[in-house]
Structure 1
Amino acid sequence: MSERTVLLQKKEGVGILTLNRPQLYNAINNQLSRELLEKLTKVKEDREIRAVILTGSGKAFCSGQDLNDRSAMQKKGELISLGDSVRSRYNPLIKTMVGMEKPIIAAVNGVAAGAGASLALACDFRLITPKTKFVEAFVRIGLVPDSGSSYFLPRLVGLGRALEIAMTGRDVEAEEAVAIGLANRLVSEDQLMDEAFAFARKLAEGPTVAIGLTKQAIYKGMEGSLEEALESEAVLQERAGQTRDFLEGVQAFAEKRKPSFKGE
């Protein structure tokens, strides 16, 4: 049996997903994309997991599509439809991440290139180290951004910067990534996972139903009109107001104590 390409660890309400092809900088092949979708689905459905960390093993976060895998298929004479590959392998990953009503933190421990950059951008937060760099590498091999990069990148850094980064395919180093809003926080390399876990645990201890609904509200708010955003807020607030965490929050406020949220 082949080695697992995605590992899942559960700890104190946090699910830690680790891409596990370190010898190839966690490049994405068919097995990895399949296992990642399986693990994301498992995390989404596990009520004990209330926040998620996505990271890579070894020196890289994810170097994107495994081009050696593609080359081997071509040598065998197999026809490759890149459009079908994007639709069947990558789009379900991104949709699952965005649709998950749990916060996802990318602990970007090295290069995040191509579809690997897209995976990082699809997370809700990005913690990076001085060795991190983002590379929209698609143009380097004559392709266009996929796996959500054309959606997330301009929303994070603005239209002009997104066009420049995507069209040149240049490296975006760590300090610039934070300065332009591509990453949330720069931490030392040896503290990355500790910082990511502390952040995830803090979120996991919060009213995670409300946090998940907030994620949904923000995404909807980016796309629609003010009128649609206001109505969406009303619908989601109705749901939040029916949770036990809301009752606990109000009671804790009245009693001047720290609330004990259960994610219910």
Structure 2
Amino acid sequence: MPVEWQPVRQSRTHELVLQSIEEQVFAGKLRAGDRLPPERELAPVFGVSRSALREALRVLETIGVLVAQPGRGPDSGARIVRHPDDALGRLLRLHFALGSYSLHDVMEARVALERASFAAAATHASEEDLDEAGAMVHRMSQPGVLPEEFNELDTRFHVKVASSSGNALTSTLTAAVRESVRPLILRALEEVDDWPATQAHLNRQHAEMLRLVRLDQGDEAADLAELHIRGFHGTLVDEDRTGGDADGATA
């Protein structure tokens, strides 16, 4: 089905370009993988300047639905993609840092999402998914793993379980919410009095959650996931409510 581009009004030009592109996506005329015409061709069709067109394309790139490749080769130009995870994570992290959401809001969202993820993973996760999650747990348990690497692996573990749940939106939202508090959790891990003991405790919970998922005990895995999140993340919420330096931790 050919895409029919229409000129747009000059008022708030880049937003009107965005609206026109969105309409083509909603109509099914633009799909992931489709390439937009070159700027020199598309701008006159819209009846706008190339700078206004670029502004609209930058917005689409920021929200994860377009990637622009500079140059003149066959892979150059703008292409429609589906990359929601990074875009949502970036957006949520900024809004969290700006105070749009409280630590308590984020924790409750994590609990709801990850309870659903672990319960569903017990039914839907493949052996390959669980083996990948197990490799992360194994690496987190090794002596000498410092908080920064642990935090990275911890994030990947929770996101991996979510992605194996069979619900793509749950996976994306889990990744975005966990990513939004990554700096805060890292700082908290770095400030614990006994890092080896904290590392061992958190990873025992990771290992047990994964074991329960493997045994198809989704409800029990969900309960432990909630306990796990409310345990460490909950201490950050308590600190925030008593005047802790949460804003500085997320800057």
Q: Same fold (TM over 0.5)?
A: no
**Higher helix proportion:** 2
Q: Return the TM-score normalized by structure 1.
A: 0.27
- Larger relative contact order (C-alpha < 8 A, sep ≥ 6)? 2
